[in-house]
Amino acid sequence: MTTHFTDRDERLWQRYAEDSARPLPVGTWLRTLRATLRTRRPAFRTTEEAT
């Protein structure tokens, strides 16, 4: 089987590479990170409660 690329193949591959390289919106990323940290953080304890 001969493998050769046509111009169409190259254009499709380039479009795929450009689409997958787009970054996520920063606001969405920050909200997700903030929600994850909020659920994993242990409750804050004061020194009076610890003794």
pLDDT in tens, the chain (51 residues): 567 889 999 999 999 888 877 776 888 888 888 888 877 666 666 666 655
Helices and strands counted in the chain (H then E):
3, 0
Please choose, from the candidates 27, 48, 47, 31, the residue with its C-alpha nearest in 3D space to the C-alpha of residue 39.
Answer: 31
Tell me what pLDDT residue 9 has: 92
User: Which residues of the chain form beta strands (DSSP E)?
Assistant: none
How many CB atoms sit inside 10 A of residue 30's CB? 11
Tell me what pLDDT residue 12 has: 93
Q: How many residues does the chain have?
A: 51
